[in-house]
Amino acid sequence: MDIRNVVVIGSGCAGHTAALYTARANLKPLVIEGHEPGGQLSLTTLVENFPGFPEGIQGPELIANMRKQAERFGAEYQLAHVTAADLSKRPFTLQVGKNTIQTQTLIIASGASARWLGLPSEQALIGHGVSSCATCDGFFFSGKEIAVIGGGDSAMEEALFLTRFATKVTLIHRRDEFRASKIMLDRAQKHDKIKFLTNTLVEDVLDASKKEVTGLKLRNLRSGAITDFPTSAMFLGIGHIPNAKIFEGQLDADQDGYLKTTNYVFTKVPGVYACGDVQDRRYRQAITAAGSGCMAALEVEKFLEDSGH
């Protein structure tokens, strides 16, 4: 069986950057695209905070450019999903669909998936007023009213950040208790632009036929009353799920499943590196993911050189 120098799992900013660097080092990387090719950027419309694009660039276009650049230097892409991995001995073994792939090194750039409410109308309006990233999309709703869904720290953070742009931010939570830390909750409750709607569930997002968010259909869980709530945008602050389940028991993860790394990208298994949102719960930006993808690639190069490949 052919043993690869390096396999990259994931095809968001981190994966494509790792592919570009390892390809230019002539390591002929294989990129397994995963179940969400392009990662979270493929769900974003305009990206205005990626350096080098003064007018902004569409998320899917930025991802397509990165991929083309990596392919130009010999990166190989496979549209598939890694279902199992054995990191107990080198070469490492990956189960990819029906095939088994062996590799000397592994870069895990499998990202994190935003938690969604799971409403068809919500999915139809992603990028048109429904967002899971305040730092990406808040600016587009300057001077408007915005709703944030959630009750943890990430919801409070999103709400506080969005007060820079919005005239009013309504935080909608299905319970009347909050998971958020006291300091974050206090900060949000003291802010004059943030209002709270508790014991409330989003039943529907309006209006998919207009291709923009005009309001939410809300149900009060105490009274059962259903109301239409006008708003220009809905931001999800209910967290992310890191795509790292297949490494359970082989790599260290925190309580939420994010892979733990030392010195930026090292896992506890020599030759296995993790980068991007699968290990970064703090910044979660396209540019930081790309940066850590570069770090992982440079470590792979060094590791293969040191072990005589």
Residue tagged active-site, from 2, 13, 86, 133: 133
256 is catalytic: no
Residue tagged active-site, from 137, 204, 277, 280: 137
Residue tagged active-site, from 136, 153, 204, 277: 136
Residues 6+ apart with CB under 8 A from 102: 1, 2, 3, 4, 91, 92, 93, 94
136 is catalytic: yes
133 is catalytic: yes
Q: Which residues are catalytic?
A: 133, 136-137
